[in-house]
Amino acid sequence: MTDHKKYTAYSLTILMVFLMAHFSYSSSNSQTNIATLRGIKGMTIEVEDLNPMIVKSGLTLTKDQIKTDFESKLNQAGIAILSQQEALDKNSPYLDVSLNAFSPVNLESGSLWVFNITISLNQLVSLSSNQNILVTVPTWTISRLGMLGDVKLNEIRDPLKSMMDEFIADYLTVNPRGK
């Protein structure tokens, strides 16, 4: 690697670290957004397709594994998972999971990956200006930005799990078990 390429790679890495320190955590955990979870009896989970760059990287985590992890955590918390047909019949909410990553920097020791994870609960709502118009919008969202090296890329499952824990905690705040 030439000195210019090394300088560019290190500069980009430093820039990403500063950006991540500033934007590494975003959540819409306001009381209003948490209140939008009240009364939800069940939901489906939709995991968006993984970026082909992630798949080629050798990441062992798959779209199906992410969905299974989320279903398991929701079931353990007593939150019903609806089939696609049940959800369509009831216009039920769905939890959307998006994991994006790219590797802008290749260092001698391997690639550096920048990732963004977003989880949002989407619900059918009516417009205040026209009650006849119904749209599906995210009413609860959490997003994380992070960085991992090749060796630790499979650790991307950890922030996914902690974000799901936050969703479950917010859900149970307004839908306590046994009520």
Burial letters for 61-94: b for 16+ Cβ neighbours within 10 Å, e otherwise?
Answer: beeeebbebbeebbeebebebbeeeebeeeebbb
Secondary structure element (H or E) that encloses residue 139, with its range: strand 134-149
Query: pLDDT tens per residue, the chain (179 residues)?
Result: 566 555 555 555 555 555 554 444 445 568 888 999 999 999 999 999 988 877 777 777 889 999 999 999 999 999 999 988 887 777 789 999 999 887 766 666 667 778 899 999 999 998 999 999 999 999 999 999 888 776 666 788 888 999 999 999 999 999 998 66
What does R_g of the chain's alpha carbons equal in angstroms?
19
pTM of the model as a whole: 0.79
Backbone angles phi, psi at 125, to 5 degrees: -130, 160
Backbone angles phi, psi at 100, to 5 degrees: -125, 145
Secondary structure element (H or E) that encloses residue 43, with its range: strand 42-47
Distance CA 113, CA 115 (A): 6
| Domains of the chain by start residue, with CATH | 3-174 (3.40.50)
- Tokens coding 15: 């820039």
- Tokens coding 141: 């969202």
